[in-house]
Amino acid sequence: MDLAELTALLTPEGLRLLDTLPAIDSTDDVARTVSRLRAAGHSPGLVSAVVGQARLRTRAHAKFGEFAERMLFTRAGLEQATRLGISARHAARFRAAGATSVADLGCGIGGDALGLAALGLKVVAVDADEVTAAIAAYNLAPFGDDVSVRHARAEDAVEGLDVEAYWLDPARRTAGHSETSRTRPEDWSPSLDWVFDLASRHPTGVKLGPALDRALLPPDAEAQWVSAEGSTIELVVWTGMLARDGVRRAALVVRGESAWELTGGTDAEDEPVRALGAFIHEPDGAVIRARLIGDVARSLEAGMIDEHIAYLTSDAPLTSPFVASFRVREELPADTKKLAKALRERGIGRLEIKKRGVDIDPAALRKSLALRGDESATLIVTRIGQKRVALLADRV
């Protein structure tokens, strides 16, 4: 969306027209809606703006639920926005620490500012992009005077701010409202060095990509990796009063309305390698990133299958929210032709394929296996030492 489209949209006619549109899920829906609105006499610019927004609102339900129905988005802004349930957890950290006012520097479309304002904190939201800042102002308007939105660079806006804490989500991609590409930490806006300098002087939460080089993390900060619905979505660095005493590594696992967290003062020591047992456990991505696999292994009475592979194995019938557990049926031949024959003999037509430590394409392997049958199972293809193994298993 450019400024002209936003200007057309932010009119009584534009907003009324947008609110009349149903959910738009497909390119066929887009074509039908565009034809109908153009036939009704609406301008091409307005039609483009409202149809684009209607489609983004449909996609945004996964992150914002029913709130998406009154919000505005850009495509890049929606992709990069924090989902509402996670932003509420961020906000709770600020409130628990006693903060009453927060500056959200790099607020995007306002996802985290929504969570902060919803818990009663006063928020100053700042974004360097004019269109994005205008959209954030629209999305945050229901909170009235408790939220102000500014169009400015974080580096310029921070001077003179009277707040108790900061939240930053530095732009880690090239500028734009649609297709963007990743950039290096020194090219982020603001740069990672600037962000961590601010965080060293003020209580701060910093949202980063989960794959950030751990060598870049401040040694005295809390690093919390977060996964939601099985995907590792972010790393949050907390400093000052927002960092918990004695916690330097944390893995937060969120599924629906439930959440579990594993914390440590440092990386956990791994458990020794042991022989393959009755169960295979796949640690959640947040646990792997936080390097707390050893703590999970000890809770499961498990060991590593290989010192370089993030799979655990055990004989104890224990599981945990921090792992996906599988009961091992048997080891099958790793050779594709022999494996296909073994699966057909067992009547397996539905197969979940998981891999770690081996160079295979699960989609290509599935095609090569030519599965047939009514049974289902999980195939875990991995490496133990120098040997490639294929384990037939069932999810616990």
Average pLDDT, integer, range 119-129? 96
Helices (H) then strands (E): counts for the chain: 14, 16
Average pLDDT, integer, range 110-125? 96
Q: Are 156 and 194 in contact (CB under 8 A)?
A: no
Instruction: Name the average pLDDT for the chain.
Output: 94
Amino acid 160: pLDDT: 85
Number of neighbouring beta carbons within 10 Å of residue 262: 24
Average pLDDT, integer, range 34-44? 93
Q: Which of 24, 26, 30 is nearest to 48 (CA)?
A: 30
pLDDT category, 189, cuts 50, 70, 90? confident
Q: From CA 115, how far away is CA 117, in angstroms rounded?
A: 6
**Topology of 78-264 in CATH?**
Rossmann fold (3.40.50)
Amino acid 5: pLDDT: 85
Q: Which of 88, 152, 150 is nearest to 121 (CA)?
A: 88
Q: What percent of the chain has pLDDT over 90?
A: 90
Q: From CA 166, how far away is CA 101, in angstroms rounded?
A: 9
Average pLDDT, integer, range 7-31? 91
Average pLDDT, integer, range 45-56? 93
Amino acid 328: pLDDT: 98
Judged on CB neighbours under 10 Å (0-12, 13-18, 19+), 229 is exposed
**Tokens standing for residue 209:** 């990509």
pLDDT category, 183, cuts 50, 70, 90? confident
Reply yes or no on whether the pLDDT at 173 is more than 90: no
Average pLDDT, integer, range 91-102? 97
Amino acid 131: pLDDT: 94
Q: What percent of the chain has pLDDT over 70?
A: 97
- DSSP conformation class of 41: T
Amino acid 163: pLDDT: 97
pLDDT category, 179, cuts 50, 70, 90? low
Instruction: For Cα atoms 173, 175, 179, give the angle at the middle one, nearest 5 degrees.
Output: 75
Q: Which helix (H) or strand (E) holds 342?
A: helix 336-345
Q: From CA 18, how far away is CA 49, in angstroms rounded?
A: 9
pLDDT category, 181, cuts 50, 70, 90? low
Mind listing the pLDDT tens digit for each residue in 339-349? 999 999 999 99
Q: What are the structural domain ranges in the chain?
A: 3-71, 78-264, 279-395
pTM for this entry: 0.90
Reply yes or no on whether the pLDDT at 363 is more than 80: yes
Q: Which helix (H) or strand (E) holds 53?
A: helix 44-64
Mind listing the pLDDT tens digit for each residue in 194-209? 999 999 999 999 999 9
Residue that is written with structure tokens 């449909």 in the block: 58
**Tokens standing for residue 211:** 């794959």
Number of neighbouring beta carbons within 10 Å of residue 364: 10
Residue type, 369: L
pLDDT category, 177, cuts 50, 70, 90? low
Q: Which of 61, 62, 47, 64 is nearest to 9 (CA)?
A: 47
